[in-house]
Each structure stands twice: as structure tokens, then as C-alpha cells.
A and B are shown apart, each in its own frame.
Chain A
């Protein structure tokens, strides 16, 4: 016995084309929301998990507020060890990195095509390289035999712009220009005394994060031990520190900073708040997705039920002509599987488009990243599971309906 012809034309005759289009559109909408919800939830998990692995974190630089009464007062200007310990004990703080500073006067000499430009009172600092961004070349320094190893220098991104403004455009260099110029670092006891040494230097990169001129700690230590004589305890204290913190616990850190009056980059705080906001948004999307999932599953079941009801006469007529119920069942199962498959693929493309064209460019504006691919394999697995479940549940329902047809 061959497969009955015209089965599709007969079985869909119970539904008007407009009804069919509306049902498919509704299904597609549900699948898109489900995929968005799932991907959003996975992205949120990615940020949360990454915060435990060092990725969902950020770094902010803290300094003591500059006040008139604090001028010259070591207690007011420098971070004490007790303050560092207090900060370190916060659950939002992953690590604290004190900056070291030069204790000897320093000048920077830039040779611009034979015309030297000298910048005195040039402060350099060093900090753990783990938190330094923007290093483009080798960051190590050691005292070589001839003592002439180039010192790598990291400048803040806005250094060149600031130099141009402060010198009324006299020093107006691009990053590439400065990188190719000859630089010298000249330590001295004071501005009145001659330099004690001369170190060739090179630009190793530009930092977006740290607004200071950085050198390797090995060099700074050599500088301070060779050319300076630390006298007071405050000479070893830090004027500023870097704090690595978990983005999702920014609220606690923000409150602490407000209570202690520390100064920092407000953008960092806003980024952290945005991270918390994202977390909330992802959770909301996830909950909405779960609700939509239940709604769409119910909707699909009702739709199939409606199709069966509208096609009841046709199905009975088909069965009376000797067509096996399983043939009708398989027609529905294959049709639903194909429909779900097409809707899933379209939903994937829609979500992929939304993420690549809207979400990722938006997130690029922040310092934290959503890990992984644009669409997670978990989203594929989830929608695959939904499709298989839906086909199975609908098949069971259709099977029951078919059995009920001739049970009177």
C-alpha cells in the first residue's frame, strides 16, 4: 500500500492561509524571544563566571583627595598600610597594588630632530605589570654591564594631547613620532644641581587605564637606591594605588569610596554600575524568556489542537478510507519537526544579527567583555531540546486525539 497522495492539501484545508501565517509568525516570535533569553542568560553567566577567573573584573586607580589642609601632611597624602588592609578586606576587592614613585628629581629630554626639549620635575612611577595595559614592547629592564640598556616608558594616552596644550602647540607630536624619537631620563639631586646619570629611554606603549608615566620597578628601585636617600617613613608609602575589583560587586566598593573620600575615575564606577545593570537586565530577560517559553509552548500546543479540531472531519474521512492513524501522525510529526527546525534556524539568525549589530558594538564601549562566541552552543542545545520536546509532546497529543476518534 502506497502513501496516500494529497495528504498535505487535505490536512491543511482545515486552516485558512492567514491563520497559518499568524501561527507561524507567533511561533517565530516565541522562538526568537526564547533564543534571546537563553543567550542573555548565558552571557550573564559568562560575566559572572569570568569575575571568578579574572575576566569579569576591572581596575581602578585610587588616590587621596588633594586638599589645602592635607598639603605636606603624610597622613593625608599617602595611603597607610591599615588603609590598604581595609580595602583588601572588601569582598568586591580582588587585589590592591600600591604604586612606587621616584624619590629623586628627574628630567626628561626629548631630541626632536636635533632640538632638545627638556621637561623637569618629571615624576615616574611603577606598579605591578599585571594591571598595566597598553604595553606594546618589552617591559623588562636590568642594569646591563655597560649600564646603557634602554628604559621602557609607558605614557598615559592623553600625555601627547596634554603636552600639546600646555606648550601651546610647541610640542605637538603623534604617537608614532614620539616612539621614534630619542629620549633620555636624567636623575639629579635638585634642579640646581647637574644630572647624576643619563638613561636612554624608549616608549613602550600608551596606557588607557593609568594616568601616570610608568617605568619598570627594577629601574625605579635602581634609581631610588642609587641616587636618592629615603629618610622619612612616608618615602616608602604610596600616593596612589590600583584596585582590581569584581564588576558585579561595584555597589559595595562605590559606597566604601564615598565613605572614605578617595578619588577615582568616575567612568570606572559607571562601568561597574552598568555591569550590575546588565546583570539585572540579563536576569530580567532570562525570566521573561522563561515566561515566554511557557507561553509559546502552550501556544503551540493550542495551535496544534486547533489544527486537529479544524481538520477532524478530514482526518476521519482519511481514516475511513483505510489510511493508518500512524500515517496521519507521522505527517503531523514531520510537518511540525520541519516547521520547528525552520523557525529555530530563522530565530538563530535573528538573534545572531541582534547580537552582532546591536549588543556587541554597545558592549564594546565598556571595559568588560562578554566571553565566548556570538551565539553559545548552549543556546543551540537549548533550542534543540525545546524542538525535540515540542515535537514529542505534540506527537503524544495527536496520537491520543487520533485514538479518540473512533472510540465511541
Chain B
């Protein structure tokens, strides 16, 4: 199992900002594969930083971050790449879509590289479910942020993963679309026996609150 353990992990910028008393940044927190976790907090408390540490995008912290029973402080670039490629799927807050590609090409950029990725039919079925099938052949640069969020989510779901990291994925979606997206996410992580870590500014989100463990 690809568990993730935060053991007294403290990002340097947050220590300087006096956030060392926040729940996540002291003690031991274990994220078990197959479970869903939510990190709810207002801005500046390190939600995105936590996901960045797990993805190996940032390394400016003290303490121990243990992934798959191994401390990550000694991981090489290739180990981090392999972790991101085979075990993680991410929807970053900024989405990081390629604006000069179409929505479908953005998804294929990820999906076409891995055995067991979603097929073209599967992707189109998901897109229909999210109400964005007509956007698949449009360049992402012309889409609204809410539409882009759903494309980024499809990209993340289209590949095999053990952990799905969603950084404020509903920030530009209405309640009805949030529910549709959430249902799709839960279906997919259950089918893949994957873990989920989701962040949100909305500390009182009833939809998410009912289904996941808060950190």
C-alpha cells in the first residue's frame, strides 16, 4: 500500500509565518491508500503546499515525509518522476493545462502514455457526464475556468493512479456541477482502490463534509 506519512513535516515559509501549531504541521499524520481525505482551511495555511510536498514539487520543509515506507528526503529526480507518473494523479490549483492543445489532446498527453489508461470512449463518456463533450476539440485557452477545471479533472482520472490529489477542484463550479464531478471522482477512486486528498477553502462544504475524513 502506498501510504503517505507526514511526521513533523513543517514547510519553512509557514514556520516563518507562525503556522507551526496548525494540525497538519505537527505530529504524525498517515494518509492510507483507499481512504479519502480533505484539507480544509482558509488561504495561506499551506493546503497547496501540502500537496506540492507529496508531489515532490517543493522540498523546502523540515521533518519526515514518508511515502511507501521510505523517507523521501533522499529520493532522486527519477524516483520522484516515477512516483508522479505511476502513483499520483494531480489537479493543481492552476490546472496547468497546455493552452495550445485541445481539451482532448491535454487528456491524451497523460492518458496515452500508460497501460490501463482510460480509452477514448471512456473519456468521451465522462465528458458527456460532466457536460463538456462538445468542448473536447476546443483549445483550452478559450474555455472558462470552470470548464478547464473539469477538463483537468478528466485528465487526472484518465490514467492509473494510487493517489488522487485535488487542489480546490470546485472553486469555479456551481453546486449542481460540483455534485456531478464529486460523484465521478468517488466512482473512479473506488474502482481504482485509490486514495484521495482534496483541499478546499470552503470549510462548510456539506457535499464533501459528508463523505471524507477531515484533517
Contact = CB atoms under 8 A, between A and B. Distances in A.
Interface of A: 1-6, 9-10, 13, 313-314, 316-317, 319-326, 403, 406-408
Nearest to A12: B100
27 contacts: A1-B86, A5-B108, A5-B109, A6-B101, A9-B101, A10-B100, A10-B109, A13-B98, A317-B98, A319-B81, A320-B57, A320-B90, A321-B84, A322-B81, A322-B82, A324-B77, A324-B78, A324-B81, A324-B82, A325-B77, A325-B81, A326-B78, A406-B59, A406-B77, A406-B80, A407-B59, A408-B58
A403 B76 CA distance: 10
Given A10-B100, A314-B98, A406 B56 contact: yes
B98 A4 contact: no
A2 B100 contact: no
A407 B88 CA distance: 19
Contacts of B113: 1-5, 322
B81 A408 contact: no
A401 B97 CA distance: 22
B69 to A, nearest CB: 21
Contacts of B112: 2, 4-5
Contacts of A4: 109, 112-113
Interface in B106-158: 108-110, 112-114
A401 B116 CA distance: 33
Contact of A322 (B86, B92, B101): B86
Contacts of B56: 406
A69 B3 CA distance: 116
Interface string B45-75: 0000000000111111000000000000000
B173 interface: no
B91 to A, nearest CB: 10
B81 A406 contact: no
Contact of A1 (B60, B90, B114): B114
B110 A321 contact: yes
A8 to B, nearest CB: 11
B35 interface: no
B92 A13 contact: no
Residue with the highest number of chain B CB atoms closer than 10 Å, among A6, A317, A321 = A321
B58 A406 contact: yes
Contacts of B88: 322
Given A321-B84, A325-B77, A13 B100 contact: yes
Interface residues of B, number: 30
A13 B100 CA distance: 7
A18 to B, nearest CB: 16
A13 B85 contact: no
Contacts of B108: 5-6
Given A1-B114, A321-B90, 16 more contacts: A2-B113, A9-B98, A10-B101, A10-B109, A13-B100, A316-B96, A319-B81, A320-B57, A320-B92, A321-B84, A323-B85, A324-B81, A324-B85, A325-B81, A403-B77, A408-B59
Nearest to B99: A13
Contacts of B86: 1, 322
B96 A320 contact: yes
Given A1-B85, A403-B77, A9 B58 contact: no
Contact of A408 (B60, B92, B96, B105): B60
Contacts of B84: 319-322
Contacts of A13: 98-100
A2 B113 CA distance: 5
Contact of B98 (A10, A319, A323): A10
A319 B98 CA distance: 13
A61 to B, nearest CB: 75
Nearest to B102: A6
Contacts of B78: 324, 326
| List of 7 A-B pairs having minimum Cβ-Cβ separation, nearest first | A322-B85, A317-B96, A322-B84, A324-B81, A13-B100, A2-B113, A10-B98
A144 B31 CA distance: 116
A325 B56 CA distance: 13
A320 B55 contact: yes
Given A406-B56, A408-B60, A6 B109 contact: yes
Nearest to B85: A322
A2 B77 CA distance: 19
A4 B80 CA distance: 17
A406 B77 CA distance: 9
A3 B112 CA distance: 9
A378 to B, nearest CB: 41
Nearest to A403: B77
B57 A406 contact: yes
A321 B113 CA distance: 11
B181 to A, nearest CB: 20
B59 A323 contact: no
A323 B81 contact: yes
Contacts of A326: 78
B105 A6 contact: yes
Contacts of A407: 59
A317 B58 CA distance: 14
Nearest to A406: B57
Nearest to B55: A320
A311 B56 CA distance: 20
Contacts of B85: 1, 321-324
